[in-house]
Amino acid sequence: MDHFDIAVIGFGIRGLGLITANPELRGHRVLIVDSGRRFGAGAFVRILSESNSNGSDFFNWVDGDGPYGPILDLASVRDLRSRADCFDLQLLAQALADAAEFVRATAPSHWSIARDAVAAVDLPTDGGTTLRFAHGRTVRADRAVLACGVRERRASAYEAVLSSTLLAVPDEARAEELFPGARRFTIVGTAHSAFSALAKLSALGVEAEAVTMTGRSPVRLHYPSYDAYRRDGHPVAEAVPDPTEDVCPRTGQVFRYHGLRNRSRALFGDVSQGRLPVRLVIDPSGESTRREIEAADVVIQATGYVSDLPGIERTGRRVVTAPVALCDGDGVLLDADGRRVEDVYLMGCDPYPYKSRFTDPTVQYIDRGSAVLAALEAGRHANT
Ligand SMILES: Cc1cc2nc3c(=O)[nH]c(=O)nc-3n(C[C@H](O)[C@H](O)[C@H](O)COP(=O)(O)OP(=O)(O)OC[C@H]3O[C@@H](n4cnc5c(N)ncnc54)[C@H](O)[C@@H]3O)c2cc1C
């Protein structure tokens, strides 16, 4: 059986971020495995919409003087990083794919980068992990990092189009053909994916007055600082940040990761100021939402994502129960009872949008890398 020091399962932005933020991993035997069609791009391949973040936010984790420094000179990466506001997410998909290709082309000879699907991660009693692939092959890895991404959770109580499905539709499509005869659209959710769905409906030719947005909690907006938040006036539909919970301790930004920015923020401004005749209902009890869902011809669900993990099994029994997968401060996966699943790390997604101290997912790349490298070094010393 092939044996690696570390297996990275998933080569989307997080797997790529882990690898490129931690060049020291080049000194270890690394397996990277991804079942998708474009290494690096991950879920962004399917999102035909705009970002919430600025292009300049990306690839800051790459050390320009290190072995991955040339990634910063790739044309698509430079183009992305020159955007000081939102951008077409296909630009990010291209930059990530180009960066992943650089990683593949410059990988040490003791690495393996494979296009394959991991069906399960087994936890042998003597430690480490065994990856089982869909076609039966197995591989041993002392440590495994789960960077498998997220999938949109389906709310079962009503028929809905998932926002991820709507956002995969090109702007050139027409609403009359996609939703024949539909007059009333309800978007459930008020985060970036909900406002992206609103923008998509408009691009498809749906009039603003045909749309209602409904959410359980007020809308979170990004601010560069708490002072900037205090200086502004705020509509009633806007969330009030808690200075201890919602201000990033590192940068001082308010609702740093999931607060609306750019186009989504402007759309919220237009809706809340009545410049766009979309009805916005903030409804903690869920009662009005239920009525809006019943009255709508098309319901679009934009209520969040959950981790998309392979089975994690010890002696044939699952140790992590979906839908929510959590890790501790070291990034070690926690089982259903909150105990550490040693040797397995999570590039976290849950709860999504993020509530943990990793208000910025890119902080995870270095944090996880440091924890994994420390564990690999400790293992190395134990074996000598
Ligand atoms: C409109 C919209 C805008 C967004 N804007 C941003 C943004 O600006 N910034 C941002 O950070 N996020 C944004 N997101 C969220 C974004 O989709 C996720 O944050 C991001 O894709 C997560 O990256 P990831 O690497 O964890 O997962 P993914 O991109 O999903 O990559 C996971 C990879 O793992 C592979 N994989 C999964 N399971 C297995 C398995 N069992 N075996 C082998 N391979 C496997 C998949 O093929 C995939 O390539 C946006 C989302 C939407 C809908």
CATH number at residue 343: 3.50.50.60
- Looking at the fold, whether 297 and 357 belong to one and the same domain comes out as no
Tell me the CA–centroid distance for residue 40 and ligand 1, in Å: 9
Give residue 45 CA to ligand 1 midpoint distance, Å: 9
Answer yes or no: is 61 within a domain. yes
Are 309 and 297 members of one domain?
Answer: no
In a domain, 35, yes or no: yes
**78 and 51 share a domain?**
yes
What tokens appear for 62 in the block? 């790459």
Whether 7 is in a domain gets the answer yes
* Same domain? 147 vs 159: no
pLDDT at 65 > cutoff 80: yes
> Do 21 and 102 reside in the same domain of the chain?
yes
Residue-level pLDDT at 353: 44
Convert the pLDDT of each residue in 88-122 to its tens digit: 999 999 999 999 999 999 999 999 999 999 999 99
CA-proximal residue: ligand 1, atom 37 (nearest): 148
Residues 66 and 22 occupy one common structural domain: yes
Average pLDDT over residues 144-166: 88
Dist CA 139 CA 364 (whole Å): 26
Q: Is residue 193 part of a domain?
A: yes
Looking at residue 347, what is its pLDDT? 85
CATH number, position 168: 3.50.50
Last residue of one domain, picked from the residues 301, 318, 333: 301
Has residue 357 got a pLDDT over 50? no
Distance (Å) from CA 320 to ligand 1 centroid: 20
Residues 127-139: tens digit of each pLDDT = 999 999 988 899 9
pLDDT score of 299: 97
Q: Where are the beta strands (DSSP E) in the chain?
A: 3-9, 30-34, 112-115, 118-122, 129-133, 138-146, 150-152, 161-162, 185-188, 211-215, 279-282, 298-301, 305-307, 311-314, 317-318, 332-334, 340-346
Domain residues for the domain of 212 are 154-219+260-301
Q: Among residues 251, 269, 301, which one ends one of the domains?
A: 301
Distance between Cα 384 and ligand 1 center (Å): 38
CA of 150 to the centre of ligand 1 (A): 6
**Domain tally, the chain:** 2
- Counting ligand 1 atoms within 8 A of each CB, the residue from 44, 137, 165 with the most, and so the one to mutate, is 44
For residue 193, the CA-to-ligand 1 centroid distance in Å is 14
- pLDDT beyond 90 at 162: yes
Average pLDDT over residues 206-219: 96
In a domain, 240, yes or no: no
Who wins on pLDDT, 351 or 282? 282
Indicate if 12 and 131 belong to the same structural domain: yes
Note whether 323 and 366 are same-domain residues.
yes
* 360 in any annotated domain: yes
Out of 240, 268, 301, a domain closes at 301
Q: Closest Cα to atom 34, ligand 1: which residue? A: 10
- Global pTM value: 0.92
Q: Clarify whether residues 85 and 174 are in a common domain.
A: no
pLDDT of 360 strictly over 80: no
Residue nearest to atom 10 of ligand 1 (CA): 53
Q: Please check whether residues 191 and 96 belong to one and the same domain.
A: no
Please tell me the least confidently modeled range out of 171-180, 335-344, 361-370.
Answer: 361-370
Q: Is 250 a member of any domain?
A: no
Whether the CA torsion 337, 340, 343, 346 is positive or negative: it is: positive
The partner residues of 223 in beta bridges, in order of sequence, read 254
Please check whether residues 176 and 93 belong to one and the same domain.
Answer: no
- In a domain? residue 237: no
Could you tell me if 276 and 177 lie in one domain?
yes
Tell me what the mean pLDDT of segment 53-82 comes to.
96
Q: Which of 7, 2, 1 is nearest to 312 (CA)?
A: 7
DSSP-assigned letters across all residues of 160-228: -EEHHHHTTS-TTS-HHHHSTT---EEEE--SHHHHHHHHHHHHTT--GGGEEEEESSPBPB-BSSHHH
- Average pLDDT for residues 269-288, to the nearest whole number? 95
Residue 7 is predicted with a pLDDT of 98
- Please give the pLDDT value at position 378: 85
Is the pLDDT assigned to residue 171 strictly greater than 50? yes
Pocket test for ligand 1, best of 47, 49, 60, 131 (most atoms within 8 A of CB): 47
Which residues form ligand 1's pocket by a CB distance below 6 Å? 9-15, 33-36, 42-44, 47, 49, 51-53, 89, 117-118, 147-150, 167, 192-193, 196, 308, 310, 347, 349, 361
Other beta carbons less than 10 A from residue 36's beta carbon:
17
Compute the mean pLDDT over every residue in the chain, rounded to the nearest whole number.
91
